[in-house]
Chain A
Amino acid sequence: MLMKMFAFEWRYFTKQPSFYVTSLIFFLLTFFATVSENVQIGGGGNVLYNGPFSIAQTLLIMGLFAMFLVVNFVASTATRNDSSKMSELLYSKPINPLSYQLGRFLGSFAIVATVFAFVPLGILIGSLLGGLVGWIDPERLGATNLSHYFTAYFYLSLPSLFVLSCFFYAVAIKFRSMMAVYLSAVGLFILYTISGQLLNEPEYRTMSALLDPFALNTFGEVTRYWTMFDKNNSPIELSGMLLENRLLWLGISVVIMALFGGFRSKVRLSQVKVKKQSKKALKKADAQLALQTEKIPQLLDNNISTKSAGVQSGAHMRMRILFEIKQVIFSAPFLVLAVLTIFMLVAPLVDPQGMFGTPNWPLTQNMVELIAGSTGLLMMIVLAYYSAEIVWRERNSGMGDIVDSMPVNNITFWLSKIIAISLVLVLLYVCGVAVTVTNQWLLGYNNLDLSQYVVRLGYLGLIPLIFTAVLAFFLQVISPNKYIGMMLFVLFIISSITLSNFGFSHNMFQFSSAPQVPYSDINGYGSFLESNHWYMLYWGGVTLVLASLTYALWHRGPAQKLKTRIKKVSYYLAAPGKVTIALGLVLFVGAGSVIHYNTRVVNEFMISDDREDLQAAYEKKYVEYLNATIPTVTKTHAKVDIFPEERRIEAVAELTLTNTSNQAIDKFLVAKPQHTQQWNVEIDGGKLGEVDAKFDTAWFTFDQPLQPGETRQGKLTAIRDNNGFTDGNNDFNLVKNGTFINNFELFPVFGYQASYQLTDRHDRRKHELAPLQRANKLEDERFYNESFFGNGVGFIDFEATISTSKEQFAIAPGYLQSEKVEGNRKIYHYKMDAPIVNFYSVMSAKLANKKQQYKGIDIEVYYHETHEMNVDRMIESVKDSIDYFTEHFGPYQHKQMRIIEFPGYRSFAQSFANTVPYSEKIGFISDLRDPENIDPAYYVTAHEVAHQWWGHQVGAANVQGNAIISESLSQYSALMVMEKKYGKDKIRKFLKYELDRYLRGRSVEAIEEMPLFRSENQQYIHYRKGSVVMMALKDRFGEARVNASLKGFLEDFKYQSTPYPTTIDLMAYITEGATQEEKSFVSNMFEHISLYDLKTTDVKVVAVVGKEDFYDVTLTIDAALKRADGQGKETEVEFVDLIDIGLFNADPEDLSAKDFVLYLAKHEIKTGSNEVTIRVQGKPTFAGVDPFVKYIDRDSADNIYRL
């Protein structure tokens, strides 16, 4: 019986198209993810495509989608007898429930397992074929090791599938309805995402790893800090947390099946609910009788021969639209979708993940992005599902023959259905907006800006979706059944993702897509909406053609072949349809021409492959001039006229140049700035040669070479212009409101442009380029006279004359000398009194401002009027920073500090001399009302102010580690200011984030992790590890000593450019007068990738006899220090160090606890097992080593021992 039922299920499903369709989809998804660079499921960074980590991760992520599989196969098995009306035939047979149900269950589970096996198969074939044909860089593939596929499939996927199958089978058996299963699937999904969100906090990670039926979090936890080496070599082991998780869920699923799988009860028909006879019903019966005897005889005489008045387009349309809407909206799937939409939004809103865990204010621009982002995939599912459901409604209900033979125009069916599906999309967005508006209201944010919801969701979001719905309908109509139609739609989605791989990345090739329309509160839609209109006209034309063809090909009658229907196209189109098609074609060609002209003729468009080729060719042609000497600017007067409305800048920079090298310069390379047609470089005694148009590069040749030390006058000119529109390559520097451009972007730049080089290792291999040297060697003294801004960038005397339109103000580094209005132009003259690095910004915007004077320093913040929330906090941060830095490092070189908000197209803050452009996406919008949270506005401001010292007063040589001097020291300085204001607990919280981000950063390193002092512009090192190391140093050496070292370093290298300092210099100041132990500590931190493994294995507490409330506490501590190489391979080294030992009466992880420290002091800890005994007053409940995680430790949870 069991085997028979098993075999029956197997045969049944292998005959269903859905088996093949889903298998194919699962196969194609992972296949394409493997062979194409645009689709990525697992992996990332330098992980081998067929390595154990990316196989496992891909399988886990696809496991989430497997929920649909299980519902489709297992649950439909459970309900099939009822749904196919077989139950009466079956249940009258003598059936043993156990073997019957179990056989069916296992049969359908086997199907699910088989379909899912196509996931690893897709990776396997993808990697084999991709490697063979050359789609994949062989370096991205390891040796094919089948055991990786098997372990991932059997350890990770199969148990998850089993859990899901048991759960959904039980639900289906219990409720005998697919709808119940769908609802529980959605419920499970919601529960999963929400708990995932809430359990994401570090303290709950273990719990979420254990409780995750999909094992996604479990795997994430196990591999959290895996380096590249681990990811490509460590097999997945069924042990520890993963084993516990799998056993737990196997147990749970067996229990579910045993209790609810229907094994114990007899198989029987579902109970029919019989309505009770009530008085009401009796009354009703009376009424029926009256009807029977009085009303009906009259009705029999009714005139039933009213003739059909023919096709009633208007009336038909009205009725069918209402009908379709009713069918769609008042159905369980729609409610499920609405609930799903709401919950998908609620989770990120309840626990918004801002900078350092601090939420942002719910700005409408972010809310819109949240809605669009979180519903993106859902909308595609909606389109796939509903287009099938709606188009085939007549066929599926069995009503098709009747309805189709009615005198109704095809367009009536089509239009009513397209309106219904559009309404679904609209309503889902409305649900989303309702949620976010409620959220805004709850959070007390009342700048709702509803028009943004309308324009960005209603126009930018919805119109392309509706076009896609028309396409989905078309695909359904040309298909013989809804499954093929759905498959075609899925293929369309896959193709739209992969098309750009084959060079079709222009939006004109991607159905219904247009270049992104970025939004900024400062600049609004800028000028980006216009291009969107053209693209929508273009796709609207295609859509009109598709729409007409769809209704002309509409299924009338039981599925007729496409060929037969094509014969009738002309008949059903009739004149209006043909006119529509013509109109569509006119739009398509017309708007298409406009787009082509603008994006390819007026502006440049290049697909990424061509761009790469060009980059490679540039490098090959010019790389020999990488370190060629170029003139250094020593004095600049920039004259910049900004025309914001036209998005145009006319700029001239009058320069004084010199040759700082020891050899004459007879020629040097010049690169043309972007978006600039007219430009020139004029220097006495030379001229700009022919422009190499391919690379936008020219040689400047001196007739009389520029001799070492010689000074000449020169002039740079550039007219930056934005004409027409582009296909996404937008000029975000020059916008209608919020222009922010620096001199390297505005003016022609000298020398070989290293930034043009390909950076991706695989791209470089493809173009036969040697691995990129990210930075010059630390020891290479040739670069000690070059600043970290690059060759030829030194300190300058600066002056700027900037004009802009009357409505805006313009700003550049320096002090305002004059401000005047001439006609409709405002003209500003700025002049700097101290030398600045030749790196300056020019900005123009219309903003509100707040100014304060503090100790003779003008503090100014320019901000968008709706972003005033944290302006005072920023000013406070500037004051605190200037105080602390002045006291500990030296005086501030300027008399002004200005913070200027710029549009959020870019999200960073950047420190120029006395000027800090600051993106609207960060800091300004942080919601600082909860004092428990870290204050990003205060922190970022302090960091940028610190750059006035680190970076602007003291530079760094253009060698490895330069960012340590500018960034890590700024991080340290900012943290010290923060510590003074917010206390040590906040810093601990901050450092936890920093440590986590460092460890995660190194786990996705693309080339090689460097030790701190050799950091090669690696952000996770110079920011994240920099914070951790500098604060550990401060903990070890004390604030005064560290600050004194830094002060000495600063004083000695202030404004010095021959040579600039390096990290070797910095470390010399730090280790000055240090003991051997301290030196080895610094060496471990700076010169090596050191990972401490500190662990409290045992704690014994013994009450001291005769002394009340005194205890002897003995801790056993295992200690190890591991050194990792650049790929993360570790070797152990001996160490001895002074490390914190702490005893507490509350969890030290709990940041809200107060006065919980019973004992905290440094003890000598060495490699191996250590025993430490401490006498303490008060009984400790927690004890541990390095309790506040000052050392870099991959598993800091085991530092603490809970008593």
Chain B
Amino acid sequence: MIEISDLTKTYGGRPVLDGLDLTLGPGITGLLGPNGAGKTTLLRCLATTLAPDGGAVRAFGLDPGVPMQRTALRRRLGYLPQDPGFYPHFTAFDLVDYVAILKELTDRRQRHAEVRRVLAEVELTGQSRTKVRKLSGGMRQRLALAQALLGEPDLLILDEPTVGLDPEQRMLFRALVSRLGEDRTVVLSTHQTEDVAALCERVIVLRDGRVAFDGTPGELAGVAAGQVWLSDEAPAGARVFWRTADGRYRVLGGPPPGADVTPPGVEDGYLMLIGEVTA
């Protein structure tokens, strides 16, 4: 269980987290929000790589502000940062092995078996001896995910995990994360509402460092109920609309003349919520 209370973080006088209160339990929780909403800052506070200015975080009863408890918490978490840097001249195996040592997997045989396991999980076994600089963007992203899986952590923090993945790799990622979310806490931040709809039992939308929505993906989609339309004509004056594959226009907001109301998706609810669309 993770408890966040009155969490604040300010950059250059601008509050990025503004008195955030949240409780996160087992399962997969998705964080949505526009750029600058505070998603990455929140995840970095959870991952113990950033100290908040105020408020408290407790994960499994441990306070990351206390050095010994921070180390104890780090033993139980896996973290995929938004911009994972690499040592380009390391091989994929070497890099994960290096992180495994820092995760206190000291027995060589067991550590190497664990490295092979996580590389296989992300389907990088064939690239284990390839230098990081020669891996594609998607492969690097999977490599970063592999190191987060080391030691089967109780808390998995994934910041934009599907960036750079092709559709097939995203399916692989979804299968992997949904399996991991069965018995542990997974928190992932994304701009992909499809990932949230497919994976998360709970979605939290952040806006200006505060919780703007907290519920199920279905409830988020429900925010746009009765406000999504299909129209044969391009609507005049509508703020958000696009032409779909069948040639009709999907319109969010007020009803264009002669349009048919259609069931909303998670993306529709999200766009309504963050104020991109006004009814």
Q: Judge: A and B partners, yes or no.
A: no
Give the A-binding residues of B (Cβ under 8 A): none
